[in-house]
Structures are given as C-alpha cells and as structure tokens.
Structure 1
Amino acid sequence: MESLKVSDHMNQRPVTFTSNMTVAEAVERLLQTKQTGGPVIDTHKKVIGFLSEQDCLVHMIESSYYREQVAHVKDIMKIDVISIKPYTSVIDLAQKMMTEKPKVYPVVDDDGYLLGTINRSALLHAIDLQLHDGYRLRAS
C-alpha cells in the first residue's frame, strides 16, 4: 500500500479556540462547525491545549447544577495534547487511534504550530480511497 501522509487528508481549516474565550462561545463554534473538538491556540497559532464536546458537556451539566459563574476555555481544556506531524503515515495514525482515546488530533509542525487537524472519518476516507485504487489496479 502506497504511503499515505496525514498532510494529504487533514482538515486545514479546523475549529480553534483561545484560552480566554468563554465556554459558551466555544460551544457556539463547535455547533456551527459541526466538529467534535479542536485545538486551543495562542496568538502565534501554537497549540496550548485541546477542547472537545465532552469537555464542554461536562462543564455545562455542572453549571446547570451549581449555577457557576462564566467559565473560560482555559478552565476546562486538556493541557496534555497528543498531536501528530504532517508527515505521519495515515496507517500508523489509524493503528494509534485503535488504542488511544482522542478522536481528533491536532497536526503541528516540528515547532508545535498548528497546521490542521485529522479525525477518524478522514482516516477512514483516506484508507477507503487507497483500497478502491488498489482494487481498480487489480481489475485492470
């Protein structure tokens, strides 16, 4: 199977957040973009965290019980972000996704600056395209 790279299948316009954004603003972004999560970036587009629908849902449920004050992304984001490089093999990432929790990975350059994101659907699509190309070559 030809080597498929993450950079060829990543979302180059992912939903992003800033640490000072309110959770309510972040939820609106998630709903508008229909993405399940995205990287939290600083002013230079360096990844400093990750925010998912699950993080927001947990906060919203807690807020409904306790009537808390306005929370910000920095209060609930994950700091230990698992990111990948654009030259990572799609197959290697798919194998990694079978054992690790993230459904969305930020794609960063060697200095940690955001290039995009990739999710399970994009990996399935990439592998499916590759398999169909292989079937066509065999049939020829």
Structure 2
Amino acid sequence: MDKSNNIKNYMVTKLVTFTPEMNAIAAIQDLLKYKISGAPVLNKEGNIIGIFSEKDGMNTILDSSYHNEIGALVSDLMSTEVFTVFENLSIMEVAEKFLTTSFRRFPVVDKDGRLVGQISRRDVLKAVENLSKG
C-alpha cells in the first residue's frame, strides 16, 4: 500500500472534459449521462480555461426557453474563474485549501497549467484514512 501523501496518488485522472466549442445541450447530456455536477473545459493545448456546471446547464435551459432557441456553446456559459491546485501538493496542503474555500473538488494541473486530474474532498478523506493506517 502506497503511503505517499502526494495528491498524485489519490486524484482521479480519467475525467469527462468539454471544449469551448461544444454545444451546451450536449454538455448537459454528458453531465447527466456520467452523473457528474460539472466538468473542466480545455483549450486545444489541454489547459483548463473554465468549468461547465449543472448551474451553467440550468442557465442554458432558462435562456433557451426565454429566447425560444437552443444554440449556446459551452464557452458562452462556463465559469472562467477556475481555482486549480498543482500536482506536487501534499494531501494536507489540499485539505487546507478545502477548508478555506467552498469548493468540493479542484482540478489538478501540472507546472505548465495542463489538466492532469481532479482531487475531491472525499479523495482527501480517503488519503488521510490510508495514511493513518501506517
């Protein structure tokens, strides 16, 4: 059992991601299909440029019903203020960040800003449990 406290050992690396050009309705369908509350939006270089969430999806539905059209893109509705953490942080450093924000998960990026994974509060709790057994 690996007892390292680096977040790389506990983060999820297989993520649903969106592109800015993706149709917002298709993104909503993916949120529902994969039972997730949001997903990172990546540019062509793999850098995270936003988050598309359930709330953004609701804005899509309300806006399209008001204007009687469906055609918004993910880039039109995504949140562009994204709080990320670096892959070299420890579990305790990320735990501190969770305690000082309302976020339930953070996208994890490498030194070049490319998305490499995601760490959640639950992942941190599992890591602490694992580390305490040693």
Q: Same fold by TM (over 0.5)? A: yes
Into which bin does the TM-score normalised by the smaller protein fall?
0.7 to 0.9
Distance 2:125 2:58 in 1: 26
Distance change in 2, residues 1:105/1:98 (3 Å): same
Structure 2 residue matching 1:10: 3-state secondary structure: coil
- The answer to whether structure 1 residue 46 and structure 2 residue 83 are counterparts is no
Equivalence map 1:59-138=2 (5 Å): 59-131=60-132, 133-134=133-134
Question: Match for 2:59: what amino acid?
Answer: V
Distance 1:69 1:53 in 2: 17
Structure 1 residue matching 2:85: 3-state secondary structure: coil
Give, in angstroms, the shift of residue 3 of structure 1: 5.7
Give, in angstroms, the shift of residue 72 of structure 1: 0.7
**Unaligned residue ranges in structure 2 (runs of 5+):** none
Distance 2:129 2:21 in 1: 39
Structure 2 residue matching 1:106: 3-state secondary structure: strand
- Taking structure 1 as the reference length, the TM-score comes to 0.83
Distance 2:59 2:103 in 1: 17
Equivalence map 1:10-29=2 (5 Å): 10-29=11-30
**Unaligned residue ranges in structure 1 (runs of 5+):** 135-140
Is the CA contact (8 Å cut-off) linking 2:87 and 2:108 kept in structure 1? Answer: yes
Give, in angstroms, the shift of residue 65 of structure 1: 4.0
Question: What is the aligned length?
Answer: 132
Give the percent of matched residue pairs that are identical in Structure 1 and Structure 2.
34
- Taking structure 2 as the reference length, the TM-score comes to 0.86
Distance 1:57 1:121 in 2: 26
Q: Which structure has the larger Rg over C-alpha atoms?
A: 1
Distance 1:122 1:66 in 2: 41
